[in-house]
Amino acid sequence: MESSFSSYLLCMKNDAMTTLQRLLILFALFSTNTFSQQSTSVPRFLQIGPKGMDTTAFAEIVVFRDSAVQYDNMWFSVMFDQPVIPVAAINPGRCYIIRTKKEGRHTLYTKTYWADGIELSLEHGKRYYMVMEVIKQEDKPRTLLTLLNEEEGKKRFLDFNGRRMVRYMSLNDENHNYLEDRHPDSLRWRAGNALFHFKRPPFLEIIIAHQIMVFHQPSISKTYSEYMTIMEIKRREIKDTASFLLFAETTGKEELKGESGSIELTRIPMIRNDLPYAIAYYVDNENASAPNKGGAEHLHERSVYMYLFVPEYNKRKGYYTILLSERGRLEELSTKAELIDKFNYVWDSMSISEE
For residue range 2-31, list pLDDT tens digits in order.
Answer: 443 444 344 443 333 333 333 322 222 223
pLDDT for 93 beyond 60: yes
pTM of the model: 0.61
How far is the C-alpha of 227 from the C-alpha of 206, rounded, in Å?
11
Q: In the prediction, which pLDDT does 84 show?
A: 82
Q: Report whether 288 contacts 343 (CB < 8 A).
A: no
How far is the C-alpha of 333 from the C-alpha of 321, rounded, in Å?
22
pLDDT > 90: percent of the chain? 43
- Residue with more model confidence, 49 or 305: 305
> Phi and psi for 76 in degrees, rounded to 5?
-135, 140
How far is the C-alpha of 287 from the C-alpha of 10, rounded, in Å?
9
pLDDT tens, position by position, 214-268:
655 555 577 888 888 999 999 999 999 999 999 999 999 999 987 667 899 999 9
Question: Which residues make beta-bridge pairs with 231?
Answer: 321
Q: In the prediction, which pLDDT does 294 show?
A: 74
- What SS3 class is residue 56? coil
Q: In the prediction, which pLDDT does 101 show?
A: 75
**CA 225, 332, 253, 276 torsion: positive or negative?**
negative
Q: In the prediction, which pLDDT does 325 show?
A: 92
Q: In the prediction, which pLDDT does 204 show?
A: 63
Q: In the prediction, which pLDDT does 121 show?
A: 95
Q: How confident is the model at residue 169 (pLDDT cuts 50, 70, 90)?
A: low
- From residue 163, give the alpha-carbon distance in Å to each of 64, 122, 220, 238, 263: 11, 25, 29, 44, 41
Q: In the prediction, which pLDDT does 41 show?
A: 52
Q: In the prediction, which pLDDT does 27 show?
A: 29
Q: In the prediction, which pLDDT does 193 show?
A: 87
pLDDT for 315 beyond 90: no
Q: In the prediction, which pLDDT does 279 show?
A: 97
pLDDT for 314 beyond 50: yes
Compute the chain's Rg from CA coordinates: 23
pLDDT for 97 beyond 70: yes
pLDDT for 47 beyond 60: yes
Instruction: Give residue limits of the domains in the chain.
Output: 5-17+183-353, 58-168
Other CB atoms within 10 A of residue 48 CB: 20
Q: In the prediction, which pLDDT does 201 show?
A: 73
Q: In the prediction, which pLDDT does 180 show?
A: 41
Q: In the prediction, which pLDDT does 130 show?
A: 94
- Residue with more model confidence, 180 or 104: 104
Residues 139-144: what's their mean pLDDT? Answer: 93
Q: In the prediction, which pLDDT does 173 show?
A: 47
Q: Report whether 191 contacts 209 (CB < 8 A).
A: no
pLDDT for 148 beyond 80: yes
How far is the C-alpha of 35 from the C-alpha of 42, rounded, in Å?
12
Q: How confident is the model at residue 100 (pLDDT cuts 50, 70, 90)?
A: confident
- What SS3 class is residue 271? coil
CATH code of 5-17+183-353, in short, is 2.60.120.1690
**Options 1.10.10, 1.10.1060, 2.60.40, 1.10.3470; which CATH number does 58-168 get?**
2.60.40
Residues 158-165: what's their mean pLDDT? Answer: 83
